[in-house]
Structure 1
């Protein structure tokens, strides 16, 4: 999704019955929304009464802007990578040479396709970690927004996990598969941390 595209236009493309955009691109936008909410919460936790949090909130607000840019790039990269995989499967494979070339092209495309979800696990984890960092000190008026940010990033992490698990089955190189499994583990930690953040917010709101 480009920065100039409307949400309505993107959703129409998403629902159009075409291969892209798909789950991976959508997960990246979830991460971007989580980062944006996090930045908003940080900016509301400034000024009188929050002087001791000024440096932290400035850092988080600035970091959230960078993450938004990274997440939007992941969304675009995921669409391009998936399209490349789809094209590789269309290659002819009638002869032994053609089948060998096709298999090589598929594996090459798959290695490119794993990079966006790998980056998405890192992005989602970073958003969630910052949510956990500020949940105890944030302006109470935006406490629920911190939970919303964590949940948006959790959706991104969960999307990345299932995307990586699909690719683990398809990639032949065992070293790459091991790396992808570690990325899945990172995503699982992020998902668990997000649940803890939301639980804390709900407990605070129930008091």
Structure 2
């Protein structure tokens, strides 16, 4: 079913049944089909009892994460571990343009993007630019194996519980990229191929 059609069905059901458990389930499962404004409006229609359910709390968490991951927002600092168990903090990269790459060892498109990212890294690494790859692999061994195989020259971090990817950046699919400015604000996201090239060239001519 097309995204627009799904969104219409969700809106109709929730609007007609704000006190139904099914409304909370349907809204949570189809939240990706809804823009921020629509998701918030439908959540607000739910009765207090439905909002208090696990599904209602999940929708509330997603709304909060979306607000924090829009362009212009400054993501909260976080601490993860790299491949040698050293702490990696978002604040470590203040003062630089930072491309955050959410990926996983099992994600084919993620790994297929690395050769081009290596080209970009070589081109911009001396222009106040850094890349941070954050893996959402639950299997640490699989992540470490992939890190070794790819041998990317930029920092790595492991988000095994997806706390940063979901709660801070509201990542829904892999790969997902976020570009932060030197002050730590999100200035672009979900860039691919030529779009990413164009944005980096614009910022670092």
Please give the TM-score of this superposition, normalised by the length of structure 2: 0.29
Query: Which structure has the highest strand share of the two?
Result: 2
Please give the TM-score of this superposition, normalised by the length of structure 1: 0.28
Tell me: higher relative CO, structure 1 or 2? Use CA pairs within 8 A at least 6 residues apart: 1
